[in-house]
Amino acid sequence: MEKITVVGSGYVGLVAAACLAELGHSVICVDNDLARVERLRRGEVPIHEQFLPELLMRHRGNRLEFSGSLPQAVRSSSIIFIAVGTPPKENGEADLSYVESVAREIAQNLNGYKVIIEKSTVPVYTSDWIRRVMVLTRGADCEFDVVSNPEFLREGTAVMDFLYPDRIVVGADSPRAAALIGQVYEPLTSGKYYSNPDRVPEPDGASGSAPLILTTAKSAELIKHASNAFLAMKISFINAVANICEEVGADIEQVSRGVGSDNRIGPRFLRAGIGYGGSCFPKDVSAFRAVAHECGYEFDLLDAVMRINEEQRTRFMKKIRTALWTLKGKKLGVLGLAFKGRTDDIRESPAIALIQQLLAEGANIRAFDPAAMERTKEVLGDRISFAENSYQVAEGADALLILTDWEEFASLDLKHLQKLLKYPIVLDGRNLYTAEEMEQNGLLYVSVGRKPSALKQFVKVV
Ligand code: NAD
């Protein structure tokens, strides 16, 4: 088994470190946020991820340790994963300064052959830049390889995605590095892990072994950006179709089902709503657009993807105004703060963006989210109030807004909700219900890409 360093203990680094320990490797997870390292050492779990607490409990202090010292970790491992943030710059490019500073620190502490693995999402050519930094810092005869091994995990199901991946992409330009990283993933590619009785339970449809796709480093870097851009495009595409549905009185849920049941298209990422968010799609689409431009290709399609995504929120704001007329002093209940269900991540969350607009127009917000309230408090402070459950959010509210697709928001007691609300209005940015079930329970329902009949009925009522 290998001795591995993972740099960064965020959503990707911490999950990767815990899962690599689960595969039998000895892992040091390094972060320069020393308070976070201390919390991890104490046994705290700083992010909301299914199975992560169990894996940390199983391996911490045993095969998994946490450290604030990158030099020490580098010197004791031959395989180093870089999983630090690559946030967007003002101009849309990825800010690679964290990656560069880690690469430089690795170079300063080389004490033998190392494989440096880009786990962070980075633009094509980053592997070349890392090589350059290494050579400039340590001279041309230092021994190392740079490999791109993009991460495809989704927040909320990150542990399962890591251990039961659709594919593992390894972009290695040297056979030595490819062989070493092949060993890292061997328990998954051979299927050995899947016969371990203590394994993390497999998701439905998991196969007996994980396929490994071996490519060049540049191809692997492009695979990650192209995959995220494609998924974002699917979301914007269906949102654009939803807008046509609203104009002609068709139902986007029926259209999505019909389109997505074509095997060539597939049903996933064809859910209409208030647009994508999170720490990946927005920044990765704009970074891919920027890198394409730098390479001399104008990827205009991605401009449309981003524009449609922005417009989706604007359109939802318009629906809120249409339903409520003025917003100043209105009391609004909000269900959902995270950018999607099953995570506490609010980075680029459409829910937070909408709340900020509503606050700017003078609305009073009371919100509930099963996991993201602490993080929201850090951003919005006491500008909104927080409820203890979904029903408390509705009490005396002028309307209820559903902004995140948590499963528990899809199975509310609608009769009870109707009684709690001051006005029986539900604006659903995630299409978790049908107009029929809402109306049967006396609720006026506005959603995305579906007949505005509820709205007409609402106008009559008021
Ligand atoms: P994050 O912000 O949650 O975590 C990054 C961590 O790196 C932080 O804890 C930070 O303190 C640490 N860090 C920064 N500089 C450091 C340094 N010099 N030394 C040690 N630690 C340092 O970010 P994330 O969501 O885990 O994303 C990391 C990368 O993975 C990004 O490139 C992202 O695009 C990519 N990615 C993210 C996801 C996702 O769902 N979050 C999925 C796939 C890929």
208 and 251, same domain (yes or no): no
Domain assignment of residue 290, given as a range: 236-307
C-beta of 171 in contact with ligand 1 (< 6 A): no
How far away, in angstroms, is 67 Cα from ligand 1 center?
16
Given strand 212-215, what is the order of strands in its sheet? Answer: 64-67, 26-30, 3-7, 79-82, 114-118, 144-148, 168-172, 212-215
Distance, C-alpha 397 to centroid of its chain: 30
27 and 168, same domain (yes or no): yes
26 and 159, same domain (yes or no): yes
| Cβ atoms within 10 Å, residue 370 | 21
**pLDDT tens per residue, range 367-401:** 999 999 999 999 999 999 999 999 999 999 999 99
Number of domains in the chain: 3
Read off the CATH number of the domain in which 282 is found: 1.10.1040.10
Positions in the chain whose pLDDT score sits under 50: 453, 459-462
Task: Provide the pLDDT for residue 208.
Answer: 87
358 and 450, same domain (yes or no): yes
Distance between CA 136 and CA 162 in Å, rounded?
34
Strands (E), 285-395: 331-335, 364-368, 385-386
293 and 435, same domain (yes or no): no
Task: Provide the pLDDT for residue 313.
Answer: 97
In a domain, 359, yes or no: yes
Domain-ending residue, one of 307, 342, 360? 307
302 and 314, same domain (yes or no): no
331 and 273, same domain (yes or no): no
Distance between CA 35 and CA 245 in Å, rounded?
50
Distance between CA 75 and CA 114 in Å, rounded?
9
How far away, in angstroms, is 196 Cα from ligand 1 center?
30
211 and 272, same domain (yes or no): no
Of 7, 12, 99, which is best to mutate to test ligand 1, by the most ligand atoms within 8 angstroms of its C-beta? 12
In a domain, 230, yes or no: no
Closest CA to ligand 1's atom 4: 10
Cβ-contact 267, 323 below 8 angstroms: no
Of 279, 285, 347, 375, which is best to mutate to test ligand 1, by the most ligand atoms within 8 angstroms of its C-beta? 279
Closest CA to ligand 1's atom 18: 102
For 362, counting Cβ atoms within 10 Å of its Cβ (0-12 exposed, 13-18 middle, 19+ buried), the class is: exposed
147 and 275, same domain (yes or no): no
Enter the tokens of residue 54. 């169990």
Nearest ligand 1 atom to alpha carbon 9: 9
Read off the CATH number of the domain in which 70 is found: 3.40.50.720
331 and 287, same domain (yes or no): no
In a domain, 222, yes or no: no
CB-side exposure of 261: number of CA atoms within 13 Å? 5
35 and 109, same domain (yes or no): yes
Closest CA to ligand 1's atom 3: 10
C-beta of 7 in contact with ligand 1 (< 6 A): yes
In a domain, 386, yes or no: yes
Name residue 149's amino acid. Answer: N
Output DSSP code: residue 88.
B
Domain-ending residue, one of 273, 307, 341? 307
C-beta of 228 in contact with ligand 1 (< 6 A): no
Task: Provide the pLDDT for residue 199.
Answer: 96
In a domain, 66, yes or no: yes
Task: Provide the pLDDT for residue 461.
Answer: 44
In a domain, 229, yes or no: no
Name residues whose C-beta falls within 8 Å of residue 252's C-beta, 6 or more positions apart in sequence. 238, 241, 242, 245, 272, 431, 448, 449, 450
Name residues whose C-beta falls within 8 Å of residue 320's C-beta, 6 or more positions apart in sequence. 327, 358, 399, 401, 427
Domain-ending residue, one of 285, 307, 329? 307
66 and 138, same domain (yes or no): yes
